[in-house]
Amino acid sequence: MNMINVFLEIYDTTKRMIMKAPLARNKTFKVNLNTIESQCFSVATLSDDSWLWHLRLGHLNFKDLSLLRSKDMVSGLPSIVIPKKICDNCLISKQPRTSFSSYIMSKASDILHIVYLDVCGPFDVPSLGGNRYFVSFVDDLSRKLWLYLIKAKSEVFNTFKGFKALVEKQSRKCIKILRTDGGGEFTFGELEGFCKEHGIIHEVTAPYTPPTQWDCRKKKHDHIKYGKKHAQAKKYPP
């Protein structure tokens, strides 16, 4: 698929375009939105009592404000007139996010069909070998985990090449899909070209979407918790 000059276009109900964003190199669409001026800090200058009490009570909706006034539940609360304007801060803070479907379309059908790659670090305390990062590989089907200690993120590419040669030789299978986040060590550099050269589909997960990164990150954090548990129990040398 040709990914050059690809745009995300969003239209309203009248078929009018309201947003257009280009596809970035990490296969995500970056959208710059101008923030609105907050009304919360201008309460003292408001002349409308309805808006004033709406902000005072933590953006309580106007129907509930009218109910409080009708039942005389708040001392000093004036008569509330429901405005036609929508509170911008309420609109932004109450926006929901559509939940992810429990059905995953690209489920692995064989070992090494889908491999998750992630990097964790830097850690404040280095290992005995001076490593401050580790690279984790997780096979989607078997859930097998491989960990490699590295000193810098620049070693990720060579680590992946060594991992690929090892697992493909031992299993007689080939890595078909590699899933990573949008980190620069994955999307900018030799890794992207290496995947294209060897016929590996490089999929980049969307940022701030834990369900799409769950398998890899859960394994990684389980390993961190395991290490901290044994370190506190003094089973590891300082």
Calpha distance 230→110 (Å, rounded): 34
Examine the domain organization and report whether 167 and 204 are in the same domain: yes
d(CA 167, CA 158): 14
Confidence band of 35 (pLDDT split at 50, 70, 90): low
Spell out the residues 6+ positions from residue 152 whose beta carbon is closer than 8 angstroms to its own.
Answer: 132, 133
84 and 129 in a single domain? The answer is: no
Nearest to 179 by CA among 154, 216, 134, 208: 216
Which pLDDT does position 171 carry in this prediction?
Answer: 93
Does 15 or 198 have the greater pLDDT score?
198
Q: Evaluate whether residue 218 is within a structural domain.
A: yes
**Is residue 237 very low, low, confident or very high in pLDDT (cuts 50, 70, 90)?**
very low
- Is residue 123 domain-shared with residue 202, that is, in the same domain? yes
Q: Is the domain of 76 the same as that of 121?
A: no
Where is mean pLDDT largest: 94-98, 145-149, 180-184, 208-212? 145-149
- Amino acid identity, residue 142? S
pLDDT of res. 223: 54
**34 band by pLDDT with thresholds 50, 70 and 90:** low
* Angle separating helix axes 190-197 and 156-171, nearest 10 degrees: 30
Identify whether 184 is part of a domain. yes
pLDDT digits (tens, 9 = 90+) for 88-142: 888 888 777 776 665 555 678 899 999 999 999 899 999 999 999 999 999 988 9
More confident residue, 5 or 6: 6
The 8-class DSSP code of residue 84 comes to S
Range 5-12 average pLDDT: 81
Question: 75 pLDDT band (50/70/90 cuts)?
Answer: confident
Asked if residue 146 has pLDDT above 70, the reply is yes
| Average pLDDT score, the chain | 79
Looking at residue 117, what is its pLDDT? 92
Q: Which amino acid is at 158?
A: N
> Is-contact 54 74, C-beta < 8 A?
no
Element (H, E) at 139: strand 133-139
What is the number of domains present in the chain? Answer: 2
Identify whether the C-beta of residue 161 lies closer than 8 Å to the C-beta of residue 96.
Answer: no
| pLDDT of 238 above 50 | no
Q: Please indicate, yes or no, whether residues 228 and 118 belong to a single structural domain of this protein.
A: yes
**91 against 216, higher pLDDT:** 91
Mean pLDDT along residues 73-102:
79
Q: 82: domain range? A: 40-93
pLDDT, position 88: 82
pLDDT value of residue 229: 57
Q: Give start and end residues of each alpha helix (H) in the chain.
A: 49-56, 62-70, 88-93, 156-171, 184-187, 190-197, 214-232
Pick from 119, 117, 122, 120: nearest CA to 138 = 117
- Residue 41: the pLDDT is 47
Give domain status of residue 216, yes or no.
yes
208 & 132 share domain: yes
Segment 157-168 shows an average pLDDT of 95
Q: What is the mean pLDDT of residues 146-155?
A: 93
Q: What is the DSSP string of 19-73?
A: EEEEB-TTS-B----PPPPPSGGGGGG---HHHHHHHHTTS--HHHHHHHHHTT-
